[in-house]
Amino acid sequence: MRLGRTIGFAALSMSACRMTEAVPGTGATPDARRLRSDIAWLADDRRDGRATGTAGNDSAAAWLARRHASLGLRTLPGEDGYLQRFVARSAQLAHAGGPEGLATQNVLALLPGRDPSLRGEFVVIGAHFDHLGRSPSSAMDPEARDAIRNGADDNASGTAALLELARLFAARPARRSIVVAHFTGEELGLLGSQWFVDHPPVSLDSVTAMINFDMVGRLRNEKLIVYGVATARELPSIVDSANTAPRLSVSAVGDGFGPSDHSSFYAKGIPVLHFFTDLHDDYHRASDDVERIEAEGEARVVAMAERVVRAIADRPMRLTPVRVAAPAPMAGGRTGSNVYLGSIPDMSAGDAKGLRLSGVRAGSPADVAGLRAGDVIVELGGRAVKDLYGYSDALYARSPGERVVIVYLRGGTRSTTSVILGTRGK
Ligand SMILES: [Zn+2]
C-alpha cells in the first residue's frame, strides 16, 4: 500500500491544480484525466477504504458535497445541505455482534430540468461511494487481514462517473430533472439506497428511471454489461441507439434485480439500468487500486451513459415499467445449496422480528405464493425466522421441489401461504 499512497498523493496534487483551472461546464465530453484523478482521490489510502461509519467515508462524503457545490448543483428539500443523514442498521453487522447502528450519509443533489412541463419528473443517477475499509469480513482476501481495501473500481469508478455526468448535465440540462445520488452503506447490504427509497427526497411516483454505476473502471475488450434492459419496454432500443460508433461490445441483460443499489429502486417498480465493466481478480481485494483503472475506457462508458440518460430524460413520454420474469440467478446464497424462493430480502436490521422483503421476483415461487414487497416472513418450513440469518438457515435447510409453509406479517396481520421451492440456475 505504500506505493499506492505515493502515487495517490501525486495524483491528488495534480487534481487540485486542475480543479482550479477547470471551470465546471467547460468540456462537452467525458474527461478521462478527471475521472482518473477523482478515482485517485477516493481510492487514496488516506480515505482508509471508505467503510460506512468511518472518518474516511465521512471525508469522502464531505468532498462529494464540495464537488456538488462547485458544479452549482442544487440541494434537495428536507435534507442537510447535500447530505441525507441516517443511521445505517445492518443485519450483517448486527449478526456479527457489530455496532447497533452507524451514523452515515448519502450525498444527493438536484439538476433541475429545462422543460417546465417535464421538470416535475426525475431520472435518478446513482453510485455507491462506500467500500470495505479494512474489514476482511466480506473481502476476497481475508489473508490480507486489515489491509486497506481502496475500492478503486468498486466503487470509486462509479462515483467519478457520476460526478462527470453531473458536470455534463449541469452544462447542458435535460428536459426532466436529474437527481444525483451517491449512496453509502452499499457493501453492508444496499443500506443507503434502501434508505433513499424509504425516505425519498422526491416522490418515487415521479421517478421514471434509476441508472446505477457500480464498477465501471475496467473496460476490457470493449465489453460493457448493462443490466436491467427488460425493466421498461423502451430500454432495449434506447440502450442500443446510445451505443454509437465506435461501438462498445454491449451485453444487455434483462433482470433488474442484482447485488447493487438499482435493486432497491426496481423493488419499488422503477425501471433501472446498471452499467458494469465486469468482475476481475482484484474485486474486493486490497489490490483494487487506481493504477489498474482504465480511465479512457471509463470515459467511453460515461459517454454512452450520458446518451442513455439524455434519451430517457428528454423523451416526451415516461418509460413503461415491466416486471421481468427473469430466470433464477445462478449465484447461490450459500455454497452447496441451489434452493430458490425468489425473495429480495431487505438487508437492513429492522425493529420487527422477522425478515422484511424489499421485493419479489416476478414469476418466482415467492411471487406464485402471493408474497409481496413489505411482507415480513416470521416462519419458514416450521422454523422461526428472526432475521436475515435465521431466514437463510431455514431456507437452505430445504431442497428444491419441496413444499414449505411460510408465515408472514402484512400490515400487522399474520397470514400463511405454502410454496414449492425452485432451483437456482433454471
Ligand atoms: Zn463491492
Same domain membership, residue 283 and residue 371: no
The segments of the chain whose pLDDT lies below 70 read 1-27, 330-336, 426
Closest CA to 308 of 242, 257, 251, 361: 242
Q: Which of 281, 314, 347 is the last residue of a domain?
A: 314
Q: Given the C-alpha cell 482518473, which residue does it identify?
A: 36
Ramachandran sector of residue 64 (left: φ over 0; alpha: ψ -120 to 50; beta: rest)? alpha
For residue 287, the CA-to-ligand 1 centroid distance in Å is 13
**Which tens digit of pLDDT belongs to each residue from 75-125?**
999 999 999 999 999 888 888 887 779 999 999 999 999 999 999 999 999
Residue 254, burial from CB neighbour count under 10 angstroms (0-12, 13-18, 19+):
middle
CA–centroid distance, 202 to ligand 1, in Å, is: 27
In this structure, the answer to whether residues 87 and 195 fall within a common structural domain is yes
One domain for residues 158 and 263: yes
C-beta separation of 324 from 37 below 8 A: no
Distance 285 CA to ligand 1 centre (A): 10
Domain boundary among the residues 298, 314, 330 is at 314
Residue 325 domain-assigned?
no
Closest CA to 349 of 203, 230, 227, 191: 191
Tell me how far the alpha carbon of residue 183 lies from the centroid of ligand 1, in angstroms: 12
Burial of 395 (0-12, 13-18, 19+ CB in 10 A): buried
Do 304 and 414 fall within a single domain?
A: no
**Ligand 1: distance of its center to the CA of 139 in Å?**
9
- Ligand 1 centroid – CA 284 distance (Å): 6
73 touches 111 (CB < 8 A): yes
Question: Could you tell me if residue 334 is inside a domain?
Answer: no
Angle (CA) 210-372-256 rounded to 5° is: 30
Q: Are residues 185 and 265 in the same domain?
A: yes
Ligand 1 centroid vs 382 CA: distance in angstroms? Answer: 34
Taking CA atoms, 333 is separated from 94, 330, 424, in Å, by 19, 9, 10
Res 140: pLDDT: 93
Between the CA of 262 and the centroid of ligand 1 the distance, in Å, is: 14
Would you say residue 332 lies in a domain? no
Distance CA 346, CA 241 (A): 35
> What CATH number is associated with residue 126?
3.40.630.10
Using CA atoms, how far residue 107 sits from 104, 198, 215, in Å, is 10, 16, 19
**Ligand 1 geometric centre to CA of 150 (Å):** 11
Q: How many angstroms does the Cα of residue 187 sit away from the middle of ligand 1? A: 6
User: What is the Å distance from ligand 1's center to 408 Cα?
Assistant: 31
Cα 67 to middle of ligand 1, angstroms: 23
d(CA 54, CA 102): 9
Let me know whether 292 and 362 are in one domain. Answer: no
User: Which alpha helices (H) appear in 176-261, and where do they start and end?
Assistant: 191-198, 235-242
Same domain, 118 and 261: yes
If asked whether residues 85 and 188 sit together in one domain, one would say yes
In a domain, 17, yes or no: yes
One domain, residues 216 and 348? no
Give burial (CB, 10 Å; 0-12/13-18/19+) of 101.
middle
Residue 290: closest CA among 2, 11, 25: 11
Q: Cα of 143 to ligand 1 centre, how many Å?
A: 18
Span from the CA of 130 to the centroid of ligand 1 (angstroms): 9
Give residue 155 CA to ligand 1 midpoint distance, Å.
Answer: 7
Residue 150, domain member (yes or no): yes
Q: Can you give the pLDDT at residue 33?
A: 97
Note whether 31 and 299 are within 8 A (CB).
Answer: yes
- CB burial class (10 A; 0-12, 13-18, 19+) of residue 214? buried
Contacts of 37 (CB under 8 A, 6+ apart): 11, 12, 14, 15, 18
Distance 188 CA to ligand 1 centre (A): 9
Spatial CB neighbours of 259, under 8 Å, sequence gap ≥ 6: none
| Close Cβ partners of 125 (under 8 Å, ≥ 6 residues apart) | 162, 165, 166, 178, 179, 180, 181, 210, 211, 213, 309
Query: Which pLDDT score is estimated for 426?
Result: 59
Cell of 69: 457545490
Count of domains forming the chain: 2
Per the structure block, which three cell numbers stand in for 169?
A: 448535465
Position 93 scores a pLDDT of 81
- How many angstroms is it from 158 CA to the middle of ligand 1? 11
Distance from the CA of 148 to the center of ligand 1, in angstroms? 14
| Rounded Cα distance, 232 and 254, in Å | 9
Q: How far, in Å, from the CA of 13 to the mean position of ligand 1? A: 27
Is cis: bond before 338, omega within 30 of 0?
A: no
Q: 191: CA distance to ligand 1 center in Å? A: 13
Q: Which grid cell sits at 394?
A: 431455514
Helix (H) or strand (E) holding 365: helix 365-368
116 in the same domain as 40: yes
**Inside any domain, residue 333:** no
238 & 348 share domain? no
Query: Are residue 306 and residue 348 in the same domain, yes or no?
Result: no
Type of residue numbered 66: R
Residue 144 lies in a domain: yes
How far is ligand 1, taken at its centre, from the CA of residue 275, in Å?
14
Q: What residues contact residue 180 under an 8 Å CB cut-off, 6+ apart?
A: 68, 73, 108, 109, 110, 111, 125, 126, 162, 165, 166
253 within some domain: yes
CATH number (domain holding residue 351): 2.30.42.10
Which residue, among 355, 386, 350, has the nearest Cα to 100 in the 3D structure?
Answer: 350
Mean of the per-residue pLDDT values of the chain = 90
Domain carrying residue 6: 2-314
